[in-house]
Amino acid sequence: MDLNKYIREIPNFPKEGIKYKDITPLLRSPEAIKESVAQFLELIGDEKIDKVVGIESRGFLFGMLLAEKLNAGFVPIRKPGKLPAETYSEVYELEYGKDTLEIHCDAIQKGERIILHDDVLATGGTARAACDLVKKMGAEIVQCNFLVELTFLNGRKKLNSYPVKSLLKY
């Protein structure tokens, strides 16, 4: 199945000059969802995974499905103030300013093997901050995987110390 057929391009969203890659047509198709999960599992191979870490919020969509298929736990990484228990935080640079990600302090144990998942790899700043949180907790990042990679933004460079896999590249 060609998953590219399920990605819609929206011109000038969220601002002028951007060609937004919209995954919602893929999410409407049970067949495309199943195929995406199958392709992610193929990329992961027979690696033993303890937890899948999903980045807010679209990273939760396939992250949960992968966790279930891998018989692994699921851990959300969220924006500040969204997690109820004690958290670790990571501040990172955006194009114009800073942002923060948080994870529960008890979500990952030292030595656990982690898949980091998000829907899109763009500039890599958010994914890098998420990786830094996971590493601070003493876990091993087995793979960073993404549904879509925008290769022209070179986000992979910020993740160069981790295996990066994506199903679709633009």
Give the DSSP letter string of 50-75: SEEEEETTTHHHHHHHHHHHHT-EEE
Backbone φ and ψ for 154, nearest 5 degrees, come out as 60, 30
Q: Three-state SS for 98?
A: strand
Q: Three-state SS for 128?
A: helix
Secondary structure letter of residue 2 according to DSSP: -
- Say whether 28 is catalytic: no
Q: Which of 95, 113, 140, 156 is catalytic?
A: 95
Backbone φ and ψ for 120, nearest 5 degrees, come out as -135, 135
- Say whether 58 is catalytic: yes
Q: Print burial letters for 4-43: b (CB count within 10 Å at least 16), e (below 16).
A: eebbeeeeeeeeeeeeebebeebbeeeebbebbeebbeee
Q: Which of 35, 56, 58, 113 is catalytic?
A: 58
Q: Return the active site residues.
A: 58, 95
